[in-house]
Structure 1
Amino acid sequence: MRPGTLDTSDRPLVLIWELTQACGLACDHCRADAQPNRHPDELSTAAGKQLLEDAAEFGDGQLVVLSGGDPLVRDDVEELIAYGDDLGLRMTITPSGTGSLTADRIQAMADAGLKRMAVSIDGASPERHDDFRGETGSFEETIRAVDDARAAGLPVQVNTTVCRETVDELPEIRDLLREIGAVMWSVFFLVPVGRGRILEPIEPDEADAVMAWLDEVSDEEPFGVKTTEAPHYRRVSMQRRRREQEESADGTRDASGGEENPGIKRRGGIVAGDGFAFVSHTGEVFPSGFLPESAGNVRDRPIHEIYRDSELFRSLRDRDELTGKCGACEYRNLCGGSRSRAFATTGDPFASDPLCPYVPEGYDGPLPWDGNEFASAD
C-alpha cells in the first residue's frame, strides 16, 4: 500500500454502476453510445440491491456513483439510493441534463440519502454546450438543476470533457463554476470510445499545459479539481510544485506550497482497475467504463470478489506489467497512464498512454504517438 493512499488492492476509491444506457441526449462524446430505450437485460431492482449489498463488503463509506445513459430513466433510483445509504454507502449520481431532472426528483433523491450530484457542462454558453450535448435547452436545464440541487442541500460536481472542440471553453467554464457554487470540477480527457471516436483529442503537449493550468486553478478556486482518464495530472502537478520549491530556494519567488496537492495524495496512482471499477447496465464488471474488457458479471460473482481477485484487475494493479515508456517511467506508481486510452488506441491495456508527452530520461524504445508504439524515440 502506498503511503497516504487508499489500499486499492482491497477496495476501489470509485465504484460506478451504469443503471441504464437509455438517454434522451445524443452527446458527441458519449462512451455508452446511449440509446432512447432501455435494454431488456438491465439489472433489476432486486439484482441492484444485491450489488449494493456486495459493494458494502468493501467497507463503510464506499463511494458508489449511479450513472448512465440517464439513470433517471429508471423509476427505482430513489429506492436504490435509500437502500445503499442504509448500507453505509456514499451514494452519488450523474444524471443527464434533461427534463427528467426536475426539482421534485432532486429533492426526492436528497431525501433518500444522496450525498452529491454531478452534472455535465461542456460549454460556457447555451450554444456551445447544447451543440456538444446534441440537445437544445440542455444548458438551461443543467443550470436550473444546479440551482435546485443547492436548494435541496446537495453539493454539485461539474464534469467537463476536454477535446479540440471544448478546450478553449475551459477558462469561461471555470468562471461559471465559481458563479454556480460547484464544489468539484472533474475534467475528463477524451478517450476515443463510443461516439467519442469521432471527436478530435488535443495534442499531448497541449494536454500537459492544460493540466498545469488546472493545477493552478486548484490553488486559486474554492472548488476542488480532479481529472478523469488523465492520471499524468499528478506528474504535472508534482513537477510544477518541485519547480516552485526550487525557485523559492533560489530566492526567485515564493512557493505556493511545498507539499503535494491533497487530492494527489488521496488519489495517487488511481487508474482503471486500480482504485476504480465499473458495473455495466447488464452487470458486466469493467476496470472502467472506457475500458470495456469484462472481468466477470455481478450476477455470477460478487463485485468485491471480482475486484479483488480477477486476473484482469490484479494485473492492472501491478505497475510492473506496464510496457513501453509507461513501463519505464519513474512516475509509473504515481501516475500509471490511462489504461483506458491505451486499450482504446492499441488494444492493449498495458501499453503507453498516447496523451502523455513525457519521455523518461534514457528511454529509447517505441513511443505511443498517434495511438501506436511504432515510432522510435530517435
Structure 2
Amino acid sequence: MTFQRKPSGASLVKTVRDDGKWKSKYRKAVNMDGARILELCDGQLPLEELLEKHNRLYPANILSREDAEAFFDAAEKEEMVVRGAEKLRTDARIAGSYENYYPNHMTFELTDQCNYRCKHCYRESSPDLHKRLDTAKVKEYITALHENGGSVVEITGGEPMLHKDFFEIVDFACERLNLVAVLTNGYYLQEEALQRLLKHKKTLIFNISLDSHLPERHDKFRGKEGAFAKTINAMRLLGEHGFRYRVAMSVTPENNFDIEETIKLAKEHKATTFGYNHVLDFGRGEGLTSGERKADVEELKKRVEYELYIRDKYKDFLNMLTPEQMKSVKSTNCGIIHRTVTVGPEGEVRPCAMFSGDVIELGNIMNKSFKELFKSGIGNVFAAMPAPKEEICGDCKYLRYCANCILRGIKKGSKTPGCKWVEKTGVMKYVKGSPENRVCGNIQEPIQL
C-alpha cells in the first residue's frame, strides 16, 4: 500500500493484481486529522501509546480515546488498517507532501508520429510528424513520480510503439510502478511484441482502439486500409496470452448504433472491459461532431434510448466511473494538475491530454525537475476548484456541454459575458492561451482501476 501525503490529508492506494479483475485498484482518501493518525500506525504501538504520541505531536488537535476508536472502526471497515493483539508488520510506503500536491498518475505522449490518420485524433498525429520525448527525461520523471507516491502511468502517442525506446520505457515503468497502461491502435502489437512484454503481464494494461464491428467503417475512420484486421489480431493475441485490455470506441453520428455489435466483438476476443466516448468538438474532431448539433430531436432521443439500453445490458462489462468516482468528480473536478498531468512529445506538461500547453502553462520536463514543477502551488488551486455544475451555473444553456470539465468551462466561459462559473472560480487568471487552439478530438476516460 502507498500512503501519499497531500495538503488535504492523504490518499491510500493499493493494487490487487491476482484476481484478474479490471477495477483492481483500491483508493481511499482521508482528511488531515485522519492522515496524521494513520501515518503513525507502524504496527508496533498499542492504541494508548499511539494516542499519546499523536496528541504530543499535534497539541492543537487532541484526539480522545472514543474518537480514535470510532475512527479505527471505520478505517478497518474500509481496509485502511488491520488491528491485532500482537505487533504487526506493515509494508506501507509513505511518500508525498503535506505542502504540495504531487500526482498519482501521469500520461506520457512518447511521440506525435502515428501510422494512422484518424479523423478524430486529439493530437492530429500522422506519419509525417517526428517529435519524440527524451527517454532519459521520461525515466527521471517516472522515478520521481514513484518516489513521491505516484503509482500509475499511461504510455500513449501518436502511436507509442513508434518511439525507438518504447520497450525500454515500458520495462523501466513496470519495474517501478503498480500499473502501466499502454494506449495503442494495435497495429504493431503482434506476437513478437507481446512475447517481449509477457514478463510484465501483471502490471501492464492495454487500451486498444476499435470504432466499429464493420471493417470498412473502422478502416475509413482510422485512415488506414487493413487497420481493422491488425486490431482484431492484436485483440486475439492479448486474449490468448491473458493480458488485461480495454477496447475503446470513439463514437460519432455515423457509428453510434454500432456500439452493441462492437461490444460483442470485444467480448468474443476476451477483452477485460469496454469503453466508448463521443468525439469532442476540437481539432479534427470538430467536423465529426457537426452531425450531433444538426440532429433532430427524434434522432437524439433514439440515441439516448439506445445508450441507456447499452449501459444497462452491459453494465458489468463497460468501463464507467463508479458512483464514488462520479461523486468525487461532481464535488470538485476530474483531478487535473493535483492528481494527474500529461506530458507531450516535446516535454510540455499539460493539465490533461485535452489541454494545449499554452492554455495553462505548467512547465517543461526538459528544463524543470519534478519537484520544481509541482511546487508552484497551482495544484493546490485546482484541487479546490469545482468544475462547472448546476449548483454554480444554474440553468445556463451551456451546462450540458461544460458539466464536470474545466477545459470546456474555460472554452465556453471565456466567450460568455457574465459566466457564473468563471466569476466564481477566477479560473481565467491562470489561463495564458486560447483553448480554441487545442488540437483535440475525442479522448477516452482515463484508465479506471
From 269, 291, 299, give the equivalent of 2:355: 291
| Unaligned segments of structure 2, at least 5 residues | 1-7, 12-26, 31-95, 422-435, 437-449
Shift in CA distance, 51/337, structure 1 to aligned 2, threshold 3 Å: same
In the aligned structure 1, how far is the partner of 2:204 from the partner of 2:352?
22
How far did residue 101 of structure 1 move?
2.3
How far did residue 316 of structure 1 move?
3.3
- 1:28-84, Cα deviation, whole Å (9 max, x unpaired): 1101110314535x3222111112112213426x11110010001112111111111
How far did residue 299 of structure 1 move?
2.0
Partner of 1:225, secondary structure, is coil
2:340 match: 276
How far did residue 85 of structure 1 move?
1.8
1:19 match: 110
1:367 match: none
Partner of 1:194, secondary structure, is coil
Shift in CA distance, 224/63, structure 1 to aligned 2, threshold 3 Å: farther
Shift in CA distance, 213/101, structure 1 to aligned 2, threshold 3 Å: same
How far did residue 271 of structure 1 move?
4.9
How far did residue 155 of structure 1 move?
0.7
In the aligned structure 2, how far is the partner of 1:23 from the partner of 1:304?
32
Shift in CA distance, 117/266, structure 1 to aligned 2, threshold 3 Å: farther
In the aligned structure 1, how far is the partner of 2:305 from the partner of 2:338?
26
What letter is aligned with 2:229?
E
In the aligned structure 2, how far is the partner of 1:210 from the partner of 1:303?
45
In the aligned structure 2, how far is the partner of 1:152 from the partner of 1:189?
30
2:382 match: 316
Shift in CA distance, 306/284, structure 1 to aligned 2, threshold 3 Å: same
2:196 match: 108
What letter is aligned with 2:227?
S
Q: How does 1:230-241 map to 2 (within 5 A)?
A: none
TM-score by length of 1: 0.70
From 118, 142, 149, give the equivalent of 1:52: 142
In the aligned structure 1, how far is the partner of 2:288 from the partner of 2:411?
14
| Unaligned segments of structure 1, at least 5 residues | 227-233, 235-259, 354-370, 372-378
Decide which structure has the larger Cα Rg and report it. Answer: 2
How far did residue 135 of structure 1 move?
1.0
Partner of 2:174, secondary structure, is helix
In the aligned structure 2, how far is the partner of 1:12 from the partner of 1:214?
34
1:216 match: 312
Q: Percent identity?
A: 21
How far did residue 118 of structure 1 move?
0.8
Q: Number of residues paired by the alignment?
A: 312
Shift in CA distance, 318/124, structure 1 to aligned 2, threshold 3 Å: same
Q: How does 1:290-369 map to 2 (within 5 A)?
A: 290-292=354-356, 293=359, 294-303=361-370, 306-307=373-374, 309-311=376-378, 313-320=379-386, 322=387, 325=390, 327-328=392-393, 337-344=404-411
How far did residue 17 of structure 1 move?
0.6
In the aligned structure 1, how far is the partner of 2:350 from the partner of 2:404?
17
CA RMSD, 1 decimal: 3.8
What letter is aligned with 1:16?
T
How far did residue 174 of structure 1 move?
2.0
How far did residue 278 of structure 1 move?
0.8
From 252, 256, 262, give the equivalent of 1:173: 262
Shift in CA distance, 90/141, structure 1 to aligned 2, threshold 3 Å: same
Partner of 1:56, secondary structure, is helix
My pick for the range that moved more, 196-205 or 109-118, is 196-205
Q: How does 1:193-272 map to 2 (within 5 A)?
A: 193-200=282-289, 202=292, 212-213=308-309, 215-219=311-315, 221=316, 223-226=317-320, 261=323, 264=326, 269-272=333-336
- 1:97-130, Cα deviation, whole Å (9 max, x unpaired): 32x2221112212335651111001112101111
Q: Report if the CA contact (8 A) 1:107-1:149 is conserved.
A: no
